[in-house]
Chain A
């Protein structure tokens, strides 16, 4: 199988996962689309030139994560320079976001966004992307034991955040 076919298969397998991973972090459909396509574009550029990439999923998640970090860094800079420009960075919510707002899932989603990056990642990979503890540990670059502890803490933090919001809203 040539590199293009291989990457095309990875694309089909991971596009929704990477999109969701980014969307849950940036909370905007348009920005998620931009960053997700950039992730796969950079992924493909690197993959075709470098036969040593043995774990493309980890590689794609890493690119996505860096792009999200860059996005927030850039956004902070834009906010500092001009408050008008921030509207360009955060466009009107898309259809998907509107649906989310109508359900109580929004509560969980908005609480998840508030967690620190490491907690978000471990929750998304383990509970949404169905990665096992060893696979999640590999992506995080931690031991399995540390990953279990991190997952436990992340879930507890999320539960506290959700309950805090329930109390505030009631």
Chain B
């Protein structure tokens, strides 16, 4: 073998590479040993009483409090892809723990609106790097919202609340449609199901309410017509019929 051939063979040895999975796993393992920011923060809190006992540290402590306050303010306006965004999500998740099952639908709609507002902000500012995480956040929140709204148990006293949910869902749908027109691809298949499900829930409550009322002949015919449409699963049509026959103002508050 000549020297030239030998060098060529040596260069072929470059094909020896570490397995990609192992490379990624090892990298995570190396940095996982790092103390997390949360742990550092906790150790700082443990140290605070010692600082308070020393007057010289008072200005430093004051400065620290100012920094914490500023961080909190920045956290509120953080967008997906920002460093403080994870903290914002943590505070939201901790809020969710204290929300009662009755308040959960409203809370999930509020979160969906927040995520959409963040995405809109990113689109407005043309922050392309943050686009992917923001879309992921929207889709994740929409999926959670769909799960909550499709599974919650409505009672007859919930008519006004469901009407509000229907309107808010429609508004979210319009918002997504307007984002789609600007070229933002969002998977909103669940949203259509939610909207349809809420309308059917609302219609079934209204039909049940009509059955309890004393109606004149004309109203009885109208009520039967609405019930028939509802039984056929045409909920949007049923609601329009109800509004036309019984409530011109589209107001379900009683």
Which A residues are within 8 Å of any B CB, using their own CB? 4, 8, 11, 15-16, 19-20, 23-24, 32-33, 36-37, 40-41, 44, 96, 100, 104-105, 108-109, 112, 123, 127-128, 155, 158-159, 162-163, 166
In this assembly, does B56 line the interface, its C-beta being within 8 Å of a C-beta of chain A? no
Q: Which of B24-32, B90-98, B163-171, B173-181 contacts A (4 or more CB under 8 A)?
A: B24-32
Instruction: Tell me the chain B residues, 25-56 only, with Cβ under 8 Å from chain A.
Output: 26-27, 29-31, 33-34
Known A19-B18, A96-B16, A108-B13; judge A162-B30 contact (CB<8 A).
no
Question: Is the beta-carbon distance between B30 and A37 smaller than 8 angstroms?
Answer: yes
Pick the contact of A11: B6, B7, B30 (CB < 8 A).
Answer: B30
Question: Chain B 129-168, CB within 8 Å of chain A: the 1/0 string?
Answer: 0000000000000000000000000000000000000000
Question: Is the beta-carbon distance between B7 and A127 smaller than 8 angstroms?
Answer: yes
Complex contacts, B30 vs chain A, CB 8 Å: 11, 37, 40-41, 44
In this assembly, does B12 line the interface, its C-beta being within 8 Å of a C-beta of chain A? yes
Number of A-B contacts (CB under 8 A): 73
In this assembly, does B62 line the interface, its C-beta being within 8 Å of a C-beta of chain A? no
Complex contacts, A44 vs chain B, CB 8 Å: 30-31
Complex contacts, B23 vs chain A, CB 8 Å: 15-16
In this assembly, does B3 line the interface, its C-beta being within 8 Å of a C-beta of chain A? yes
In this assembly, does B70 line the interface, its C-beta being within 8 Å of a C-beta of chain A? no
Question: Is the beta-carbon distance between A15 and B31 smaller than 8 angstroms?
Answer: no
The 4 closest A-B pairs by CB, nearest first: A19-B18, A127-B10, A108-B9, A37-B26
Question: Is the beta-carbon distance between A128 and B31 smaller than 8 angstroms?
Answer: no
Smallest beta-carbon distance A21→chain B, Å: 10
Complex contacts, A108 vs chain B, CB 8 Å: 6, 9-10, 13
Smallest beta-carbon distance A132→chain B, Å: 15
Complex contacts, A32 vs chain B, CB 8 Å: 18
Known A155-B6, A159-B6; judge A105-B18 contact (CB<8 A).
no
Closest B residue, CB atoms, query A107: B9
Question: Is the beta-carbon distance between A20 and B6 smaller than 8 angstroms?
Answer: no
Closest B residue, CB atoms, query A111: B6
Given A40-B26, A159-B1, A159-B3, 10 other A-B residues pairs in contact with their CB atoms under 8 A: A11-B27, A11-B30, A15-B26, A19-B16, A33-B26, A37-B30, A44-B31, A105-B13, A127-B11, A158-B10
Question: Is the beta-carbon distance between A36 and B18 smaller than 8 angstroms?
Answer: yes
Q: Chain B interface residue count: which class? A: 20 to 34
Complex contacts, A166 vs chain B, CB 8 Å: 1
Closest A residue, CB atoms, query B31: A4
Question: Is the beta-carbon distance between A105 and B7 smaller than 8 angstroms?
Answer: no
Smallest beta-carbon distance B198→chain A, Å: 47
Complex contacts, A163 vs chain B, CB 8 Å: 1
In this assembly, does B14 line the interface, its C-beta being within 8 Å of a C-beta of chain A? yes
Bound-complex Cα distance A159 to B190 (A): 67
Bound-complex Cα distance A108 to B3 (A): 12
Bound-complex Cα distance A166 to B2 (A): 12
Question: Is the beta-carbon distance between B13 and A128 smaller than 8 angstroms?
Answer: yes
- Could you list some 26 contacts between A and B, CB below 8 A? A11-B30, A15-B18, A15-B23, A15-B26, A16-B18, A16-B23, A19-B17, A20-B16, A20-B18, A32-B18, A33-B22, A37-B26, A37-B29, A41-B29, A44-B30, A44-B31, A104-B9, A108-B6, A108-B10, A108-B13, A127-B10, A127-B11, A128-B10, A128-B13, A128-B14, A166-B1
Bound-complex Cα distance A129 to B26 (A): 22
Complex contacts, B17 vs chain A, CB 8 Å: 16, 19-20
Bound-complex Cα distance A96 to B1 (A): 24
Bound-complex Cα distance A67 to B224 (A): 85
Bound-complex Cα distance A69 to B90 (A): 47
Pick the contact of B6: A4, A15, A158 (CB < 8 A).
Answer: A158
Complex contacts, A23 vs chain B, CB 8 Å: 16
Question: Is the beta-carbon distance between A155 and B3 smaller than 8 angstroms?
Answer: yes
Bound-complex Cα distance A36 to B17 (A): 12
